[in-house]
Every structure is written in structure tokens, then in C-alpha cells.
Amino acid sequence: MSGTPTRRPERDFMLNIVLAIGVVVLLVGLLVGSLPN
């Protein structure tokens, strides 16, 4: 991850939030899919 000498913390924070939400949605989807309806 090079090429960006000045990184913006708020942008990294937003990216981390988006990634975290994606992972949570994936885990919830797997749990709901594995549950016997």
C-alpha cells in the first residue's frame, strides 16, 4: 500500500467501517442461511 505519502485518517476510518459492516452482513447471512427455518 504505497503511493500515498499523506493518508487521511477519516478516509481510512470510513473504509474500515464499510469493511466491518460487510463482514458482519456476511456472517449474519451465513448464520441465517445455516439455521433450519
- Predicted local confidence at residue 37, as pLDDT: 64
- Predicted local confidence at residue 18, as pLDDT: 96
Grid cell at residue 17? 467501517
Chain segment 1-37, per-residue pLDDT in tens: 556 666 677 888 999 999 999 999 999 999 998 877 6
- Predicted local confidence at residue 20, as pLDDT: 97
Q: End-to-end alpha-carbon separation of the chain, Å?
A: 44
